């Protein structure tokens, strides 16, 4: 079964319910990115807040 991959949002988090498991894309129309840091300085400081547990 193929999912509706949003070609504008690439993602490798296969553990997310919104991930297109056969391809490295998200299925959502848009996502929200945030941070858990008070002063983010690198990519690791950011999070996808649209993540949903499977």
- Which stretches of the chain bind ligand SF4, using CB under 6 A? 9, 11, 13, 16, 18-19, 26, 28, 31, 48, 50-51
**Least distance in Å: CB of 17 to ligand SF4?**
7
CB count in 10 Å sphere of residue 48? 17
**Least distance in Å: CB of 18 to ligand SF4?**
4
**Least distance in Å: CB of 1 to ligand SF4?**
17
Measured over the CA atoms of residue 24, residue 28, residue 53 and residue 1, the dihedral's sign is: negative
The alpha carbons of the chain give a radius of gyration, in whole angstroms, of 12
């Amino acid at each position: 079964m193929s999912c509706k991959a949003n070609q504008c949002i690439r993602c490798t988090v296969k553990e997310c319910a919104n991930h297109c498991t056969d391809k490295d894309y998200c299925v959502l129309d848009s996502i929200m990115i945030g941070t858990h840091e008070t002063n983010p300085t690198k990519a690791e400081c950011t999070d996808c807040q649209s993540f949903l547990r499977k």
